[in-house]
Amino acid sequence: MARLAASLLALAALVAAGKPPWPTGLPVPSRPAGERAVPPAIEQARVELGRRLFYDADLSRDGTMACATCHEQKHAFADGNRTHPGVTGERGRRNVPGLANVRWIAPLTFADPTQVTLEAQVAVPVFGTHPVEMGMKGLEGEITTRLGHDDCYVRQFRRAFPGDGGRIDPANMARAVAAFERTLVSFGSAFDRGALSPDARKGRAVFARACAGCHAGPLFTDRAYHRLDPADPAAPDQGLFEATGRAGDRARFRTPSLRNVLLTGPWLHDGSAGTIEEAIRRHRQPVTPPDMAMLVAFLGALSDPAFTTRADLAMPYKACGRAL
Which amino acid, 288? T
Q: How far apart are CA 264 and CA 289, in angstroms?
A: 23
**pTM (predicted TM-score):** 0.93
Res. 16: pLDDT tops 60: no
pLDDT value for 3: 57
pLDDT value for 31: 76
Domain spans, the chain = 22-185+307-323, 190-305
- Secondary structure of residue 318 in the 3-state scheme: strand
Q: How far apart are CA 105 and CA 117, in angstroms?
A: 9
pLDDT value for 54: 98
> Across all residues in the chain, what is the average pLDDT?
93
Q: How far apart are CA 147 and CA 124, in angstroms?
A: 20
- Report, as an integer, the average pLDDT of 98-121: 96
Tens digit of pLDDT for each residue in 22-61? 888 887 777 777 788 899 999 999 999 999 999 999 999 9
- Report, as an integer, the average pLDDT of 149-169: 98
Q: Percentage of the chain with pLDDT > 90? A: 88
pLDDT value for 10: 54
Torsion of CA 127, 129, 135, 137, to 10 degrees: 50
pLDDT value for 29: 76
- Secondary structure of residue 16 in the 3-state scheme: helix
- Report, as an integer, the average pLDDT of 269-285: 97
From 22-26, 92-96, 246-250, the region with the lowest mean pLDDT: 22-26
Q: How far apart are CA 315 and CA 71, in angstroms?
A: 12
Handedness of CA 230, 221, 71, 242 (dihedral sign): negative
Q: Which of 57, 44, 122 is nearest to 324 (CA)?
A: 57
Pick the CATH number of 22-185+307-323 from 1.10.760.10, 1.25.40.10, 1.20.120.530, 1.10.1660.10: 1.10.760.10
pLDDT value for 37: 84
Res. 15: pLDDT tops 70: no
- Secondary structure of residue 252 in the 3-state scheme: strand
Whether CATH 1.10.287.130 fits 190-305: no
Q: Percentage of the chain with pLDDT > 70? A: 94
